[in-house]
Amino acid sequence: MGGNLRTFQARGVPMGYAGAVVSDELSYYQQMIDSITEYEVIRLDDNGIVQSWHAGAERLTQYTAEEIIGRPVSVFYPPEEAASGRVEQDLRIARDTGRCESEGWRVRKDGSQFWASTLLTPIHVHGTVVGYVKVSRDLTERREQQLAALGAEQMLEAITDYEVIRLDRDGYVRSWSPGASRLKQYTEEEVLGHHVSMFYAEEDVRDGLAERELATAAREGRFETEGWRVRKDGSRFWANVTLSPIRDSTGELLGYVKVARDLSERREQEQLVQRQRDEILELSTPVIQVWDKILVLPVIGTLDSLRAARLTDGLLERIARDQAEVVILDISGVPAIDTDVAQHLLKTVEAARLMGTASVLSGVRPETAQAIVHLGIELGTLRSRNSLRDALQLALQIVGGTAAEREPVDV
């Protein structure tokens, strides 16, 4: 204020008038400071004692002016920092260098802590430091967001078995992860800004598969699929892919999170198991030639559509190869007969008939016969016998001979 008075005096302004102007100017500055409620802007003396207070400081620290003016600034520091001389160090740095800027934990009146950004600036009069201006701001929320982002980044860095990336609303890659690099062989620089379809097979790109999947995810809130994807070297792998839309608070679509993993090994194992199952089924239902021109197909276990189709194919191949005239369908090993099973058997019989081969059904137990009647299944001209032996006798009669006249075929 003394400097301002001398300036007015040098201009020839009367002392009384100059004092009033300076007072108005100081009042104006105080009003400016009081209007800053998001920051603490206070004055300390040369020893760090609080000399001024305002609404922003009270909002930040919960102290009123009466409670804090005249107390050392160390009251805002955690006890361990105050005891270590941190306050004196900050004041010394500000005095020697012209400012001291730092971030750290500070303490409110109720003992709770907040993460503050603090700037200390010395006040000089005639070249001597007579105090400091302290400006502080609560950055707790920003720090938590930074830590959360850092934690998410570290978490993604740790996920190496999955690709976890972000796409924009048009499907262009906006983030990459170590798991994605491991899975696709691309570096971050090679994929950022490129469309996600770069990982799809050529035929799927032409078909617009990527765009349809993104549209489905946006419409339904989530999309999961499995299919072939392509690595940088052109090799393919079987991927499980999940797409989840990212939306803002208004519901506007911002982009997608894409999670993918390589299921090639699992798929190969499943296919191997399926092949083994098929082989077991084939072994459990062999077509056996028991006499010249006579085949037996023992049906064992549950009969479903897929297995029935395989049985029919195998039987027709043997009929053609052995020029069989009669085939015996032995169902003594079938635990239950339902409409579907009966229809499968009738289709097999019809296919054999078209090749000129007669069919005989054997192993019809009383409960099986009752089930067929109860279901109202018409077996047509299909002949049946209770036992396989009786069925063989009938088959021999059909081909024009007797058991005594024919030698069994070595199986």
Tens digit of pLDDT for each residue in 83-114?
999 999 999 999 999 999 988 889 999 999 88
pTM: 0.41
Thinking of the domain 2-139, which architecture would CATH place it in?
Answer: 2-Layer Sandwich (3.30)
Q: pLDDT tens digits for 367-376?
A: 767 777 776 6
Kindly give, in sequence order, each residue whose CB lies less than 8 Å from that of residue 26, ignoring residues fewer than 6 positions away.
Answer: 1
CATH homologous superfamily, domain 159-267:
PAS domain (3.30.450.20)
Q: Is the pLDDT of residue 17 over 90?
A: no
Q: pLDDT tens digits for 139-172?
A: 887 777 765 655 555 555 656 678 888 899 999 9
- With bands split at pLDDT 50, 70 and 90, how would you rate the model's confidence at 404? very low
Q: Is the pLDDT of residue 50 over 80?
A: yes
Q: Which residue has the tokens 């006579």?
A: 294
The full DSSP string for 93-162 is HHHHHS-EEEEEEEE-TTS-EEEEEEEEEEEEETTEEEEEEEEEEE-HHHHHHHHHHHHHHHHHHH--SS
Q: pLDDT tens digits for 277-311?
A: 665 555 455 777 878 889 888 877 666 666 667 77
What does the block give as tokens for 65?
Answer: 């002016």
pLDDT value for 31: 56
Give how far the C-alpha of residue 57 lies from the chain's centroid of Cα atoms, to the nearest Å: 45
- With bands split at pLDDT 50, 70 and 90, how would you rate the model's confidence at 229? very high
- Closest among 1, 65, 66 to 29, alpha carbons compared: 1
Q: Which residue has the tokens 């201006």?
A: 133
Q: Is the pLDDT of residue 138 over 50?
A: yes
Instruction: Describe the chain by its helix, strand, coil percentages, rounded to 5.
Output: 45, 25, 25
Q: Between 197 and 303, where is the model more confident?
A: 197
- The CA distance from 92 to 86, in Å, is 10
345 and 334 Cβ atoms separated by less than 8 Å:
no
Task: List the beta bridge partners of residue 132.
Answer: 44, 122
- The CA distance from 243 to 218, in Å, is 9
CA 237 vs CA 185, 234, 244, 312, 405: distances in Å: 12, 10, 22, 35, 62
Instruction: Name the least confident of 187-191, 248-252, 295-299.
Output: 295-299
Q: Is the pLDDT of residue 11 over 90?
A: no
pLDDT value for 244: 92
- With bands split at pLDDT 50, 70 and 90, how would you rate the model's confidence at 14? low
Element (H, E) at 366: helix 366-375
3-state secondary structure of 68: helix
Domain ranges of the chain: 2-139, 159-267, 285-399
Is there a common fold for 2-139 and 285-399? no
Give how far the C-alpha of residue 336 lies from the chain's centroid of Cα atoms, to the nearest Å: 45
Per CATH, the number for 285-399 is 3.30.750.24
For the segment 24-45, the average pLDDT, to the nearest whole number, is 65
- The CA distance from 325 to 353, in Å, is 10
What does the block give as tokens for 266?
Answer: 């699992």
- With bands split at pLDDT 50, 70 and 90, how would you rate the model's confidence at 66? very high
pLDDT value for 30: 54
Q: Is the pLDDT of residue 3 over 60?
A: no
